[in-house]
Amino acid sequence: MTPTLVLVHGFPLDHAMWDGVRAALDPRIPVLAPDLPGCDGGRAPAGAPSLDRWADALAALPGERLVVAGMSMGGYAALAFAERHPGRLAGLALVATHPYADTDEQKAGRAALIAKIREGGAAVAAEAMMGKLFRDAEGGRTGEGVAVRAAAERVGVEGLCYALAAMAARPDRTRVWSSLSAPAMVIHGDADAIVPAARARAYAALNPRATYVELPGVGHHSPAESPAAVANALASLWNQAASGEL
Ligand code: MLT
């Protein structure tokens, strides 16, 4: 059964963040890049914000076996999927992310950002991230910066606030990562200002079967800064999953 590659977006982004990677991927790889529920300008899922709702939405996608690749927040959702739907997981790629829970300080920061977004709108979320998403401050002033601002507006206030609350509530999923039996990969820029590469190297090593791909001179938003390298790495994971190797 040919696996489907599912690309899961980060914050404050949507499916469009993967456009460059999709363009660089081998067209024979079946790809889906959904907007997480509530991140399409529509209604957020009912109930307390949780990445589990997003994991279940990924499980509702077509395709029996999924290679799930999540960038940053998307990686947190991908790990929730791996925990809740292991039978559907054909491979897992964590891009610019990590398996740990928020610290109390991070949770407080998210609560403060929710209040600011409710007051000032979606643009507040884009500006809060802009200085950290790219390898240098210039990134926020390029077309990629424009794309991030446009994405935050499409996601909308409700989706952004749901995302922040769901991230704050997520548990540590280090054991999900370290005990994964499906093919696994970490893709990380060595100039990531949000998740330092040293942290990525350390958690990648907790899963001895995982492949670690470090992208030199690349920041947090590696799918925008280095789409061909991210696509190559994902294609190699997909090939591994498709051929049933471990
Ligand atoms: C992201 O890029 O999706 C966010 O930085 C994730 C986070 O805030 O933890």
Q: With 60 as the cut, is the pLDDT of residue 76 above it? A: yes
**Pocket probe mutation, ligand 1, options 129, 130, 199, 222, max atoms within 8 Å of Cβ:** 129
pTM above 0.95, yes or no: yes
pLDDT tens digits, 139-195: 666 778 889 999 999 999 999 999 999 999 999 999 999 999 999 999 999 999 999
Q: With 50 as the cut, is the pLDDT of residue 246 above it? A: no
Sheet strands side by side (includes 184-189): 31-32, 4-8, 66-71, 89-95, 184-189, 211-215
Place of tokens 């591994």: 240
Residue ID of nearest Cα to ligand 1 atom 9: 73
pLDDT at position 140 is: 65
Omega cis (within 30) before 12: yes
Ligand 1 atom closest to the Cα of residue 13 is 3
Burial class (CB in 10 A: 0-12, 13-18, 19+), 134: buried
pLDDT tens digits, 79-122: 999 999 999 999 999 999 999 999 999 999 999 999 999 999 99
Mean pLDDT taken over the chain: 95
pLDDT at position 131 is: 86
Ligand 1 atom closest to the Cα of residue 110 is 8
